[in-house]
């Protein structure tokens, strides 16, 4: 996959995760038994996806 395409894909993934934060935060406790606050915290780490983009794309 070309670098530019990979970069755009990682940006879209990060945006989708943040846009659907509430939806995912409600699903994670149901599927994995984690507390809701921990679930939200994990989702809010998605800026790390953007960091990965800058490092690996």
For residue range 35-53, list pLDDT tens digits in order. 999 988 888 887 776 776 6
pLDDT of residue 55: 67
Between helix 21-32 and helix 36-43 the angle, nearest 10°, is 130
- Does residue 51 contact residue 44 with C-beta atoms inside 8 Å? no
pLDDT of residue 33: 92
CA distance 39 to 27: 9
Q: How far is CA 3 from the centre of its chain?
A: 20
Domain boundaries, the chain: 3-56
SS3 56: helix
Using a pLDDT cut of 70, give the percent of the chain over it: 84
pLDDT at residue 5 above 90?
Answer: no
**Confidence label for 3 from pLDDT (cuts 50, 70 and 90):** confident
């Amino acid at each position: 996959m070309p670098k530019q395409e990979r970069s755009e894909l990682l940006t879209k993934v990060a945006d989708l995760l943040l846009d659907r934060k509430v939806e995912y935060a409600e699903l994670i406790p149901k599927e994995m038994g984690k507390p809701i606050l921990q679930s939200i915290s994990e989702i809010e780490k998605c800026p790390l996806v953007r960091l990965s983009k800058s490092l690996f794309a």
